[in-house]
């Protein structure tokens, strides 16, 4: 019996040591897990912050582009109305003030902007709004 007691104590001590080792390893793994979880959480928050900032910048640029597009549409519509009004004036024979001086008194069928020697004597604008290229 006396030989069994030290063996039992030794076995109990080994079990307690193993239990302590397992407990320390468990605490270490929990601590590492929590640190990794916190690091991931920080990265996630940073990624979300960057995403929200980028989204806000994109929305600002989108609104600006839409305003510019609307301004261009309004300008285009205004130019179309002006062009239509000028065409209607020409059709009705009302003409455009200063048109005879711009055309250099040319006759119907002649090329506007050229005199009898073929020299260009006007600006580079045509009557209907299209640009005339000067050679």
Query: Within 10 Å of residue 108's Cβ, how many Cβ atoms?
Result: 4
Instruction: Summarize the confidence of residues 21-36 as an average pLDDT.
Output: 98
Query: Within 10 Å of residue 79's Cβ, how many Cβ atoms?
Result: 11
Rounded to whole angstroms, the Cα distance separating 25 from 59 reads: 50
Could you tell me which residue, 121 or 20, shows the higher pLDDT?
A: 20
pLDDT at 98 over 60: no
Instruction: Summarize the confidence of residues 96-115 as an average pLDDT.
Output: 51
Question: Which one-letter DSSP state was computed for residue 72?
Answer: H
Tokens of 62: 């989108």
> Binning pLDDT at 50, 70 and 90, where does residue 135 land?
very low
Could you tell me which residue, 132 or 27, shows the higher pLDDT?
A: 27
């Amino acid at each position: 019996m006396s030989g069994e007691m030290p063996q039992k104590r030794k076995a109990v001590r080994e079990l307690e040591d193993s239990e302590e080792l397992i407990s320390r390893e468990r605490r270490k793994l929990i601590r590492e897990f929590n640190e990794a979880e916190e690091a991931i959480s920080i990265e996630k928050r940073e990624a979300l912050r960057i995403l929200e900032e980028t989204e806000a910048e994109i929305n600002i640029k989108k609104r600006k582009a839409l305003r510019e597009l609307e301004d261009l549409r309004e300008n285009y519509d205004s130019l179309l109305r002006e062009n239509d009004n000028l065409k209607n004036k020409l059709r009705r024979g009302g003409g455009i003030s200063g048109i005879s001086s711009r055309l250099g008194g040319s006759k119907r069928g002649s090329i506007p902007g050229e005199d009898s020697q073929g020299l260009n004597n006007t600006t580079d604008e045509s009557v209907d709004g299209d640009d005339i290229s000067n050679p």
